[in-house]
Amino acid sequence: MFPASRYSIQAQRCIRALKTVQAEHAPSQHYTWGRNCSSAVMPRITSHYTIFPRDKDPRWEGVEMERFADEADVVIVGGGPAGLSAAIRLKQLAKEQEKELRVCLVEKASQIGAHTLSGACLEPSALNELFPDWKERGAPLNTPVTEDLFSILTEKYRIPVPMLPGLPMNNHGNYIVRLGHFVHWLGEQAEELGVEIYPGYAAAEVLFHEDGSVKGIATNDVGIAKDGSPKDVFERGMELHAKVTLFGEGCHGHLAKQLYRQFNLRENCEPQTYAIGLKELWVIDEKKWRPGRVEHSVGWPLNRNTYGGSFLYHLNEGEPLVALGFVVGLDYTNPYLSPFREFQRWKHHPFVAKTLEGGDRIAYGARALNEGGYQCLPKVTFPGGMLIGCSPGFMNVPKIKGTHTAMKSGMLAAEAIFPKVTAEDPASETAGLHIPEYEDNLKKSWIWKELYAVRNIRPSFHNYFGLYGGMIYTGVFYWILRGKEPWTLKHAGLDSAQLKPAKECTPIEYPKPDGKLSFDLLSSVALSGTNHEGDQPPHLTLKDDSIPVANNLAIYDGPEQRFCPAGVYEYVPLETGEGMRLQINAQNCVHCKTCDIKDPSQNINWVVPEGSGGPAYNGL
């Protein structure tokens, strides 16, 4: 649990008050269900109330559903770089102007930083603005970049590419960090300023005023059995109301998805496109350790038409640590591709293996990331709320960096909010404050200039020559013209629509893991510290339980078995021996959101599990 500060006493009392409420429960009932698929009866998979409403379920009759409510000036969803930077900046402004301001932040992880995963090579521009004295404050930026290597890999060889000044991947002046540790440090700074932080409480629902503006959020209920019935220990979540609510859930947030639809925020932009990033932490032979070295590569094991690449960063954390990872664009077309197994195969390249041989792998994780950039930015303000950070998608893809832009977006949001929420008469037409100044300020900031300049690099890979055509385009139009070309290229469309039918593709034969450099999936997930309460409805919900077998398995040979980096989805024989069924191992989920993005049927809807569930990353 994130340590409570003296500023959180009021908030902690609210939580304790909530826990004293005793709910009444209807007796548990046997609940059977089935759908026909061909001649077989498919067992029920989904039991979540978002698919099967409780007001139509007799097992919930008589259960007390009233929620405790609390008020704040600003509520922030998500304890990542964006949310914490917004919270810090709000309290800085309140302190400077001697104003009272209550800021509450909820985070689904058990402690701040436990769900954070990134490379990460941090550009300190936003941090310099937020805390000019960050070195004196002990920010964990221990490894300045000293060496930059970029390579094109073939199966056996490495082709070095010069890292010219001005190219987006040049890391001069940046720091290699363990982002979870950096985020934890931000959390400490926020609490010192008086921000109320609630780790272990997942925001499960957006609340609305009668006029349609956002009122706040509700945290998740607890004490629901796997079959969807109430347990004896059932407790309703709590409501947090605010003048304005910031949504900083990270990439592909499940509440942001609802807000896109509610307010039509994506009306004037392209669909977002994504990648999956997989990461490991290793302790290597000290003789091979080069603190401050940054290595990136493209090419093998991916073909030229599959976007992706790798990173290998040498940390200076008191022991010979390296952070390494592999990124695969989720617009790939072959349903037989497994991002996890491509990652494991990449480690056997001679240039990579020589660093890892004799070392020990100590951590693993995965997370989706936004790749759409400028073309895919939605409207970020609406009555009662705002989108910040990686939720709308401010990542600079060619730089492979989004922390600095996420932090800056949170700071800009705070600076737009503060005068409104502290004004005696905010002059708002809705109960929830609408603050369009945030979006105006974004468009005037260095975030907008930065994303506009690189807008064509990612979509330029959609050509016959793929990777190599994109690299040529980058060299000509970015390095020479700095993104000033008078056109804007388009992305391919929804990642979920890019898979080809299995019959049109060649299966990929992956080598077996050797247990030294490459590993199997389940032993990898074990290193993520992932844990969920077993007796709860699966949070990987299906809109229609029959679609996985009828569509995904029949047409695409079950791609969710391969694109999931945690072994959540598998097809197993029916108990009758006739046909197959989808099994969801929700307890394995590392909250990467890939399934929600890449599912070709768009039938999977990721929702939050009980608070504190998920991975327990230590500085990933």
Q: Which residue numbers are catalytic?
A: 118, 367, 403, 564, 589, 592, 595
The 10 Å CB-count burial string (b at 16+, else e) for 244-271 is bbbbbbbbbbbbbbebbeebebbeebbb
DSSP annotation of 140 reads S
Nearest CA to 359 among 324, 321, 326?
321
Q: What letter represents residue 134's amino acid? A: W
DSSP codes of every residue in 17-42: HHHTPPPP-PPP-----EEEETTEEE
Task: Count the alpha carbons within 13 Å of 409 in the hemisphere toward its beta carbon.
Answer: 32
Q: How many helices (H) and strands (E) does the chain have?
A: 16, 26
Q: Can you point out the beta strands (E) in 466-585?
A: 540-542, 569-573, 580-584
Tokens of 157: 């060889």
CA-nearest of 24, 443, 79, 432 to 235 is 24
Taking each helix axis as running N to C, give the angle between helix 403-421 and helix 437-444, from 0 to 180 degrees, rounded to the nearest 10.
140
Q: Are 251 and 393 in contact (CB under 8 A)?
A: yes
Both structure tokens of 599: 């599912």
Residue with tokens 């979509």: 459
Amino acid symbol at 578? E
DSSP character for 435?
Answer: -
Count of other CB atoms within 10 angstroms of residue 174: 22
Residue 72 near residue 102, CB atoms below 8 Å: yes
Give the CA count within 13 Å in the CB-facing half-sphere of 70.
Answer: 23
Distances (CA, A) of 139 to 316, 317, 423: 14, 13, 34
Residue 219, phi then psi, degrees to nearest 5: -80, 165
Kindly state the helix (H) or strand (E) to which residue 489 belongs, with its residue range.
none
Q: How many residues does the chain have?
A: 620
Q: Tell me the DSSP string of 52-88.
A: S-GGG-GGGTT------EEEEEEEEE--SHHHHHHHH
Nearest CA among 186, 210, 131, 499 for reference residue 334: 499
Strand partners, 107: 199
| Distance from C-alpha of 394 to C-alpha of 371, rounded to nearest angstrom | 9
Please list the alpha-helical segments (H only) found in 210-310. Answer: 254-263
Residue located via tokens 């077996």: 512
Cβ(145)–Cβ(171) under 8 Å? yes
CA 288 to chain centre: 32
